[in-house]
Amino acid sequence: MFRNKRLVPAAAILIVGLLLASCSPPPPLISQNYLKDTSLISGQPCDAPCYQNITVGKDTFVDAVNKIKANTMFKDVQTKDATSDQPAVAVWSTVDSGEQCCQMIARTDGVVESITLRLAPQSTVGQVIDKFGEPPYTFSASYTDTESVIQLLYPTHGLLILVVPGDANSSLEAGDPVVAAIYLDPERYDQLVKEATLQGWAGYVSFTQYLTLTPIVTPIASATPSPTPGS
């Protein structure tokens, strides 16, 4: 099912499953049926902000769809054209399980704005930190009774990485799995940071501590014109 709404502040981004399908109850964040792909860590065939030879903010949506269709990791590529109020969108499945794993959204000018991946638990938080360093920003929230999520935001790499430490009583550990990645156009990333409430990196501590961290970024209020006299 298509979900072609543009990415919005961090509170909505964490529900990656809902970007790809509308389900009740929500789909699990950890599943071996999702995309088995460790290119986030290996950098093959290219490093972020490039994914499978598609660079967000640079490649056209049409060219990117053709690359996805030619990639043997994927199948069942579906596209939906842009409308007056919605961007073009593509969704596709992993060839291994047939599970819908991935979504790509275009900007209004036809360039790729974002690629969202639901990932099988093959990469870890520790590997992410080793490769990209400590994230400048984080955002944390409960997802279900058994899964909480911490987002690691890397603006210079155009990446949002979602990890699951466990339930709300768990602590983040180096071996915890990466369950999703969003490759985001740098211009859209700038907007995201301005719209979101974000915390910093606190290391390997409890999920509760992440929830209660003092924000280091808060939304920038929109300028509102002053009322004219007599209005």
Q: What is the pLDDT of residues 49-88, one digit of tens each?
A: 999 999 999 999 999 999 999 999 999 999 999 888 888 9
Q: What residues does each domain of the chain span? A: 10-211
pLDDT over threshold 50, residue 206: yes
Lowest mean pLDDT among 11-15, 133-137, 145-149, 174-178: 11-15
- Confirm if 170 and 148 have CB atoms less than 8 A apart: yes
Lowest mean pLDDT among 10-24, 45-59, 150-164: 10-24
Reported as half-sphere exposure (CB side, CA atoms, 13 A), residue 77 has a value of 15
User: Which residue is listed with tokens 């509308």?
Assistant: 22
pTM for the full predicted model: 0.87
Position 186 scores a pLDDT of: 82
Q: Give the confidence band of 200 by pLDDT, cuts at 50, 70, 90.
A: very high
Alpha-helical regions (H) of 109-219: 125-132, 186-195, 207-211
- Positive or negative, the Cα torsion across 14, 15, 16, 19? negative
The 10 Å CB-count burial string (b at 16+, else e) for 53-79 is ebbbbebebeebbeebeeeebbeebeb
pLDDT over threshold 60, residue 4: no
Nearest to 180 by CA among 163, 156, 198, 158: 163
Each residue of 142-153: pLDDT tens digit? 888 999 999 999
Mean pLDDT of 4-27: 48
Q: How far is CA 31 from the centre of its chain?
A: 16
The token duo for 100 is: 């819908």
Residues contacting residue 129 through CB under 8 Å, at least 6 positions apart: 174
